[in-house]
Structures are given as structure tokens and as C-alpha cells.
């Protein structure tokens, strides 16, 4: 034998790997998987997302090759999940300055260990390299298993569900990338049609049914045209059927996913967003990131007698990398419920009324000045579990969420209690702090001592909490405001790094530094997030609040006067306060309410199982988009199946009456999973089916005999025989489906043959 030329060897390898389903099937599968990958890349959550495309293609090709390799499945999967991680690690190493070297591997391991140590201790993970590693792993698993499922068992659903789920989650955070969802729907429908067509070809071949060679391509081509029409129609359907009740129900049943989202935000707190443009979201996690860049989208218009900071979320726990909200329980309150601020007896406060018109909902979060006392819509009030268990008062809500899904154009009116405390009154507030306020002194044990020493040095000449807070505030206002800052090195505290190394940052850094410094010297403080007042529109008499108005401030607790705002960020003007008391103000709020806002008052009054509503960052907006996308997907797939069924029936017209009847029998038995040996003749095949459904044994035999006479004897059926074929098929279809249902019924008594 001569030596086989290299090009011939290559041709042999290619022909061996060439899937019988066709390379076009592989291309469609690639589009299904890559549509999800490309949407993630377009969202720009982290750097180097372009690597995901290559990992996805490598996983798909690996799945194809292994699916065509006739070795035990377990051994192939073992090799795939050895080769996959190796390829992922190699790809990740190419993004590091050290490259694919032992130093690069050590750096990767060190960053992974640091991230695990931080998150295990309850901190916030801000290393985006670990998120890239997670995404790469998910892409590999989806790509490999999708190709394996399609080319080993000819099943499209794993690829469609896995890629579709990832796409839906990504689009719920980046809704302007819906073009990728159109690409996914289009390719998913084509994959479904292609595999179904291939499957029927195999059934016909094994059953000896003759069909026109161009039949399957004709079906696929027609489906291609129908898909182009179907996808935009399916996209429009949910706009008519998505309702407030559906959205509310979806919000309620999705709480496990909400809790998972909160944990995810803690583990990966340093993510970027599409084109570096962040959306002002207010979740239970406030990570100290390396950048902030907000757009100018109008969020709401607020009608108020005076400008204020519109507070949304309150953060209590400092982790060293950012802030976490308190452990809360959520209680339902009807509109105007005065228990919302019962027991709020602080002095030098007054009521103001604000009306907010929602233009872009933010997690169904209610934004208002000061301490909310009454609101015109039903709300879910988040109350600290620790505070609620205390016998002391006051007990206040840390965040308010609309009980109904906020829609564009909706309005709500809030009555708030705002402080009018003057400087001298705050200086004389004393240090008789209630026991519950001690939780606002929490600091991580790893906080460097020099943070406390700096705080003590700045405040040693002052004898009251107000002057100490003002001194720290003025010190921080000398730092540089910057929307792009370097992340602290691994295992470094973010506030410590900000104070002693970078000395620049945006509002989250300034507010965090002031709160941590005050806590270190025994003054209760917390970080709050919301919006500054916005630009006043004199013609309409409203404050126009945009995304760029998102801001974080510090609130310091003073006995008798409650929480008082401070502004350490130099980019914003300092808060002006009167030096002398306003005699007309007095203790307006004192004794206004006799009830205390205690948790046990709300048992059974709309509390959702006593469970807390975890991270609701942009929740309602995302859930509405998720439910819409899922409805689009299910509508498109459902219509695709109906269209496929119609096209298949229509294309059976290319067969003769006898061939079509026998083809339908083969198709029905295959759908019902009534398998028979492929070596059976048509008569043996129908005899086998008759053992499954004895009631139609005669009809099955008649169709088989007529088909055999036509196929092998060229005997054309008479008009009477054609009529009998039609009635026989209808009886067979009904009786075989009923027989299958009985066989699946758990109490069905099986025959000795096992059928």
C-alpha cells in the first residue's frame, strides 16, 4: 500500500467528523449559543469578554467531535471536563500581565483565594476576573452539552433552554440588547425545525417510506420564511397580554430568585455595565467600585415645597469592600397607614408633602425626603429584625417598596418628617444613645487602626458629636472627586485605601469614609442612597430628577433629634444649617402617635410569609422584562410548533395517499415512543404496533398491506380503498394515543410482555 497523501488524510478525517445532520445544523446551533454569548459581550460587564466567543466555539466543536466518537459517554464527559477547564484557565491567563506562565498561574490562584476568603467572611467580592472565570465556565458547559445533545441524541431542547435562560437573565439587566433575542428566537426555531426534519427522515428511511429528495429542504426553506414573519409577531404578542396582576404574581413567586440575585451582587460587586453607563439601581449591596458613570435619563418629577435629598435605601453593615443592607423583614401597609412612623418623637422636625411622578421605575422603590410617615399607595416596609425585636423606640422603615408594580406615569404622595435642628441644638444633643443604635457602630475586625487614629486626631479638640462629624466632613471635602478610581489591592480595606492612598473617589467612597470614621470613634452613622433634589422646572413647579442625580450621603444619629444628614462629597454643596433654634418649630412630632411600629403588630396583615424581600435592585422593571421575554419565547416556540405541524401535514401532499397514510402511522408511533426493531418489514412493523393497540390491529394491517402492494406490486388503490385509508388513519390516531395514555397511567395493569 502506498503512503496516503496528507490532503487525503485530512479529507478522511473531515468526512469522518462530518455530522450526518449536516454542517448547516452545526451553524444553526452555533447561532443559538453565540446569541447569548454576544449579548453578554455587548453588555460589557467586565473586560476581556471577547474571549467567551472562542471558548464557546471550542466547546461546541468539542461537543460535536465527542458526540461522533463511539466511546462510553462517561469517559468522553470526563475528558471534556478536563480539557474544558484547561482551556478556560489558559484563556484567563492570557488576560493577565504575567501571561501564560507559572507567575500568571500563581497570580490567578492568589486572586481566587482572596475572593473566596473575602466572600466567605461575608464581604463583597470586587475582583472582576473571577466573574470572567465564572462566565467562561458557564459558556463551556452550555456549549459542550448543547452540541452533545444535538449530535448525540438529536435533542434541541437543552441548547435552547440553556442558552435562552442565560439570554433572558442578561437582557433583564441590559434590556436595550433585544436584537440578540431576535437572533436567538430565529436560530432556535430553525434548529427545532431542522432536527425534527432530520428525525423524520431517519424514521422514514428505517420504515422504508419513499419520499421526494427535496421534500425536507422544501420544508426547511418554508420554515425559514415563516420564522422571519413569526419572530416579530411573537415579540408583539406580550404587549397585549402582560397585565399588572401577572406582573405582581410574578414578583411574588420569584422571591427565591431575588434572594439569589442579592447573593450574586455580593459575590460580584465590581461589575461594569453596558458601555460604562451605569443605571442607578438601589439594591441590598453597595460595592465600592472602580468607576461610576450615570446617564441623563429622567427618573421622576417631584412636586415639593422645597428641595431635599430623596432617600431610597439605607445601608448598615460595612464589609471592607462596601455596604450591605440590614437583615430586614417586610410588612405590608395600606395607603395612609399611620403605623409607618409610629413612635417617631424626635424634636425640631416638621412635615412636608411631596408628590412624585414615576417616569422610569427603580425597583418599585419609594423615594422621599426624611422619615416617611404616610404614603398614598400600599407599600412593603423593610424593618430591621434586630430593631423590631427591641423594646425601645423608634422603629423605622429602612426602605419602602410599592406593593404594586410601579408603571410609567404613576404618581404617589408622601408626607415626610424632616429635621429643622439647628447647629447649637445638635451640639447639645449629648451622647445618651439608645441600645438599638449600637448596631450602627459595626466595623470589620480587619479595619486598620490608622483609620481610627486619623479620626481621633481630627476630632480630639471637640467635645460633642456634631463638631466631630463636621470636622471629619470638612476634612473629606478637601479630597478629590473622581468618577474613576483604582480598586484597592487584594485584602486591602477600601476606606483605608481611599484615605491613605488614592485620596480620590466618588460619593460612595466619601460617604463610606465618613460613616466608618464616625463609627470608629463611637458615633452611630450609616450610608443612605437616593437622589439629590434635581433641577427645578419653574414652569411646571417640579424638580426633574435624572439618573445622574443618584447619590450617597451620610446620616448621623443624634439623641432627641434622630438621623441628621451630612454631605462629605466635595462635588455637592454642604448642607446649610441655622446656628440658632427656630422658636416656632418646637417639638412638633413629639407624642403625635401612640402606637409603636413593632413587628408583631403586622402578623397576618399582608406579610408575605414573614420573609424578607431581599435585593430588589431594579426588581420590578427586570421582572416585567423577564416575564415579557419568557412570554415571547414561549409564544414563539408554541407558534413554531403549530407552524411546523401545519407545514409537515401540507408537505405530506407530495406523497401518494397510501404513502402518506403509512408515513403518518410511522410518525405517530415515533412521537408516542413506540419503538420497534429497524429490520421489521411494513407488515411486521404494523403487527408490532397492533400489540400495543389491539383495537386498531385490522386498520394497521390494512394500511400496511395497501402500502406493500403499491410499493412492491405497483398496485394502485381503488377509490374505495383510499376512503378506507382515511377512516383507518383517524381510528388509529385516536386509539393509539389513548393506549399510550393508559400505558403511562401509574395504576395501569401491564401485560406479561411488559407493554
Convert the pLDDT of each residue in 400-418 to its tens digit: 888 777 778 889 999 999 9
Highest mean pLDDT out of 57-61, 123-127, 128-132, 471-475: 471-475
8 Å CB contact between 462 and 486: no
The yes-or-no verdict on residue 172 having pLDDT over 70 is no
Convert the pLDDT of each residue in 615-627 to its tens digit: 333 444 444 455 5
Listed in sequence order, the residues at least 6 apart from 445 whose beta carbon sits closer than 8 Å to its beta carbon are none
Listed in sequence order, the residues at least 6 apart from 395 whose beta carbon sits closer than 8 Å to its beta carbon are 343, 383, 384, 387, 388, 596, 597, 598, 599
The yes-or-no verdict on residue 489 having pLDDT over 60 is yes
The whole-number pLDDT of residue 387 equals: 52
How far, in Å, CA of 247 to CA of 620, rounded? Answer: 8
Apex CA 752: angle with CA 748 and CA 755, to 5°? 55
Q: Which of 33-37, 78-82, 422-426 has the lowest mean pLDDT?
A: 78-82
8 Å CB contact between 172 and 629: yes
Percent of the chain at pLDDT above 70?
70
The whole-number pLDDT of residue 151 equals: 86
8 Å CB contact between 301 and 357: yes
pTM here is 0.60
Query: What mean pLDDT is predicted for residues 557-582?
Result: 88
8 Å CB contact between 356 and 609: no
Query: What mean pLDDT is predicted for residues 493-510?
Result: 93
The whole-number pLDDT of residue 563 equals: 93
The yes-or-no verdict on residue 227 having pLDDT over 90 is no
The whole-number pLDDT of residue 259 equals: 52
Residue with grid cell 452555533, as numbered in its chain: 30
The yes-or-no verdict on residue 10 having pLDDT over 70 is no
Angle between helices 465-476 and 449-459 (to 10 degrees): 110
The whole-number pLDDT of residue 209 equals: 61
8 Å CB contact between 686 and 704: yes
Pairing outcome for strands 550-558 and 562-566: antiparallel
Q: Which of 281-285, 515-519, 635-639 has the lowest mean pLDDT?
A: 635-639
How far, in Å, CA of 666 to CA of 262, rounded? Answer: 51
8 Å CB contact between 487 and 550: no
Is residue 524 classed exposed, middle or buried when 0-12, 13-18 and 19+ CB atoms within 10 A define those classes? buried
Residue scoring higher pLDDT (195 or 85) = 85
Query: What mean pLDDT is predicted for residues 683-703?
Result: 84
How far, in Å, CA of 456 to CA of 471, rounded? Answer: 11
The yes-or-no verdict on residue 429 having pLDDT over 80 is yes
Is residue 661 classed exposed, middle or buried when 0-12, 13-18 and 19+ CB atoms within 10 A define those classes? buried
The whole-number pLDDT of residue 272 equals: 55
Can you read off the three cell numbers belonging to residue 745?
A: 397511567
Residue scoring higher pLDDT (238 or 269) = 269
Q: What is the radius of gyration, based on Cα positions, of the chain?
A: 34
Query: What mean pLDDT is predicted for residues 373-380?
Result: 87
How far, in Å, CA of 705 to CA of 222, rounded? Answer: 33
Pairing outcome for strands 480-481 and 504-505: parallel
Half-sphere CA count of 59, side-chain side, radius 13 A: 31
Query: What mean pLDDT is predicted for residues 510-539?
Result: 94
- Positive or negative: CA dihedral 184, 188, 189, 194: positive
Nearest to 292 by CA among 317, 322, 316: 322
- Phi and psi at 557, nearest 5°, equal -90, 130
How far, in Å, CA of 292 to CA of 487, rounded? Answer: 12
Can you read off the three cell numbers belonging to residue 19?
A: 455530522
Can you read off the three cell numbers belonging to residue 128?
A: 472582576
Nearest to 619 by CA among 363, 423, 309, 383: 363
Residue scoring higher pLDDT (620 or 565) = 565
Average pLDDT, the chain: 76
Listed in sequence order, the residues at least 6 apart from 311 whose beta carbon sits closer than 8 Å to its beta carbon are 367, 368, 369, 370, 528, 529, 530
Q: Which of 1-10, 298-307, 716-725 has the lowest mean pLDDT?
A: 1-10
Apex CA 173: angle with CA 170 and CA 177, to 5°? 65
Percent of the chain at pLDDT above 90?
23
Nearest to 216 by CA among 15, 24, 67: 24
Query: What mean pLDDT is predicted for residues 119-130?
Result: 71
The yes-or-no verdict on residue 301 having pLDDT over 90 is yes
The whole-number pLDDT of residue 649 equals: 59
- The rounded Cα 392 to chain-centroid distance in angstroms is 39
Convert the pLDDT of each residue in 70-117 to its tens digit: 778 888 888 888 888 888 888 888 888 888 888 888 888 888 887 777
Burial 467-483, CB ≥16 within 10 A → b, else e: ebbbbbbebbbebeebb
8 Å CB contact between 497 and 450: no
Half-sphere CA count of 384, side-chain side, radius 13 A: 20
- Positive or negative: CA dihedral 100, 106, 112, 118: negative
Work out the pLDDT band at 433, boundaries 50, 70, 90. Answer: very high
ω into residue 394 within 30 of 0, thus cis?
yes
Convert the pLDDT of each residue in 655-671 to its tens digit: 777 888 888 888 778 77
Query: What mean pLDDT is predicted for residues 209-225?
Result: 58
Apex CA 562: angle with CA 559 and CA 568, to 5°? 105
Query: What mean pLDDT is predicted for residues 147-157?
Result: 84
The whole-number pLDDT of residue 441 equals: 94
Amino acid at each position: 500500500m502506498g503512503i496516503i497523501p496528507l490532503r487525503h488524510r485530512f479529507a478522511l478525517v473531515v468526512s469522518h467528523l462530518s455530522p450526518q445532520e449536516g454542517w448547516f445544523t452545526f451553524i444553526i446551533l452555533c447561532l443559538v449559543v453565540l446569541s447569548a454569548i454576544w449579548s453578554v459581550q455587548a453588555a460589557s460587564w467586565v473586560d476581556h469578554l471577547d474571549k467567551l466567543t472562542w471558548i464557546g466555539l471550542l466547546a461546541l466543536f468539542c461537543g460535536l467531535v465527542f458526540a461522533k466518537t463511539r466511546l462510553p459517554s462517561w469517559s468522553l464527559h470526563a475528558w471534556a471536563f478536563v480539557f474544558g477547564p484547561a482551556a478556560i484557565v489558559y484563556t484567563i491567563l492570557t488576560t493577565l500581565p504575567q501571561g501564560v506562565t507559572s507567575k500568571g498561574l500563581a497570580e490567578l490562584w492568589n486572586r481566587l483565594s482572596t475572593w473566596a476568603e473575602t466572600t466567605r467572611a461575608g464581604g463583597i467580592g470586587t475582583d472582576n476576573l473571577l466573574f470572567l472565570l465564572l462566565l467562561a465556565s458557564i459558556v463551556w458547559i452550555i456549549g459542550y452539552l448543547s452540541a452533545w445533545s444535538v449530535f448525540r441524541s438529536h435533542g434541541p431542547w437543552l441548547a435552547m433552554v440553556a442558552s435562552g435562560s442565560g439570554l433572558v437573565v442578561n437582557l433583564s439587566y441590559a434590556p436595550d440588547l433585544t436584537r440578540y433575542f431576535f437572533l436567538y428566537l430565529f436560530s432556535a426555531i430553525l434548529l427545532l425545525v431542522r432536527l425534527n426534519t432530520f428525525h423524520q427522515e431517519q424514521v422514514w428511511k428505517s420504515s422504508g417510506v419513499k419520499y421526494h429528495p427535496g421534500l425536507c429542504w422544501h420544508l426547511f426553506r418554508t420554515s425559514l420564511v415563516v420564522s422571519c414573519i413569526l419572530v416579530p409577531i411573537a415579540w408583539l404578542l406580550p404587549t397585549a397580554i402582560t397585565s399588572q396582576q401577572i406582573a405582581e404574581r410574578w414578583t411574588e413567586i420569584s422571591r427565591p430568585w431575588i434572594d439569589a440575585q442579592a447573593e450574586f451582587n455580593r459575590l460580584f460587586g465590581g461589575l461594569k455595565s453596558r458601555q460604562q453607563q451605569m443605571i442607578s439601581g438601589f439594591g441590598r449591596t453597595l460595592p465600592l467600585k472602580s468607576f461610576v458613570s450615570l446617564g441623563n435619563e429622567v427618573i421622576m418629577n417631584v412636586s415639593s415645597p422645597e428641595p431635599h435629598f430623596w432617600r431610597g435605601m439605607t445601608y448598615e453593615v460595612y464589609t471592607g469592600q462596601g455596604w450591605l443592607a440590614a437583615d430586614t423583614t417586610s410588612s405590608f401597609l395600606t395607603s395612609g397607614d399611620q403605623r409607618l412612623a409610629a413612635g417617631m418623637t424626635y424634636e425640631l422636625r416638621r412635615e412636608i408633602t411631596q408628590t412624585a411622578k414615576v417616569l422610569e421605575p427603580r425597583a418599585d422603590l419609594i423615594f422621599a425626603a426624611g422619615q416617611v410617615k404616610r404614603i398614598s399607595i400600599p407599600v412593603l416596609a423593610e424593618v430591621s429584625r434586630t430593631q423590631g425585636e427591641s423594646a425601645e423606640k423608634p422603629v423605622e422603615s429602612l426602605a419602602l417598596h410599592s406593593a404594586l408594580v410601579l408603571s410609567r406615569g404613576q404618581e404617589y404622595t408622601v408626607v415626610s418628617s424632616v429635621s429643622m435642628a439647628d447647629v447649637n441644638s445638635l451640639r447639645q444633643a449629648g451622647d445618651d444613645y439608645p441600645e438599638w443604635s449600637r448596631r450602627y457602630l459595626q466595623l470589620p475586625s480587619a479595619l486598620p487602626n490608622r483609620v481610627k487614629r486619623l479620626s481621633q486626631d481630627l476630632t480630639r479638640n471637640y467635645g460633642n458629636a456634631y463638631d466631630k462629624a463636621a470636622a471629619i466632613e470638612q476634612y473629606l471635602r478637601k479630597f478629590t472627586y473622581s468618577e474613576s478610581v483604582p480598586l484597592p489591592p487584594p485584602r486591602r480595606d477600601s476606606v483605608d485605601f481611599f484615605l491613605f492612598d488614592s485620596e480620590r473617589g466618588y460619593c460612595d467612597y466619601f460617604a463610606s469614609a465618613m460613616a466608618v470614621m464616625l463609627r470608629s470613634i463611637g458615633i452611630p452613622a450609616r450610608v443612605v442612597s437616593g437622589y439629590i433634589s434635581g433641577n427645578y422646572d419653574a414652569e411646571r413647579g417640579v424638580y426633574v430628577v435624572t439618573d445622574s442625580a443618584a447619590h450617597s450621603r451620610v446620616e448621623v444619629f443624634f439623641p432627641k433629634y434622630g438621623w441628621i444628614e451630612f454631605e462629605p462629597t466635595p462635588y455637592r454643596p454642604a448642607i446649610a444649617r441655622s446656628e440658632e433654634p427656630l422658636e416656632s418649630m418646637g417639638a412638633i412630632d413629639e407624642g403625635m402617635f401612640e402606637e409603636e411600629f413593632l413587628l408583631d403588630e403586622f402578623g397576618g396583615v399582608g406579610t408575605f410569609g414573614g420573609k424578607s424581600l431581599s435585593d430588589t435592585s431594579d426588581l420590578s422593571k427586570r421582572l416585567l422584562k423577564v416575564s415579557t421575554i419568557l412570554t415571547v419565547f414561549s409564544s414563539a416556540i408554541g407558534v413554531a410548533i403549530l407552524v411546523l405541524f401545519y407545514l409537515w401535514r401540507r408537505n405530506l401532499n407530495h406523497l401518494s395517499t397510501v404513502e402518506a397514510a403509512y408515513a403518518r402511522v410511522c410518525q405517530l408511533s415515533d412521537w408516542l415512543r413506540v419503538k420497534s426493531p429497524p429490520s421489521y418489514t411494513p407488515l411486521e412493523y404494523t403487527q408490532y404496533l397492533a400489540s400495543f393497540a389491539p383495537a386498531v390491529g385490522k386498520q394497521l394491517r390494512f394500511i400496511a398491506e395497501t402500502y406493500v402492494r403499491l410499493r412492491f406490486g405497483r398496485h394502485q388503490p381503488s377509490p374505495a380503498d383510499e376512503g378506507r385509508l382515511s377512516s383507518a388513519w383517524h381510528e388509529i390516531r385516536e386509539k393509539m394515543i389513548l393506549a399510550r395514555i393508559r400505558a403511562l397511567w401509574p395504576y395501569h395493569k401491564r401485560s406479561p410482555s411488559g407493554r
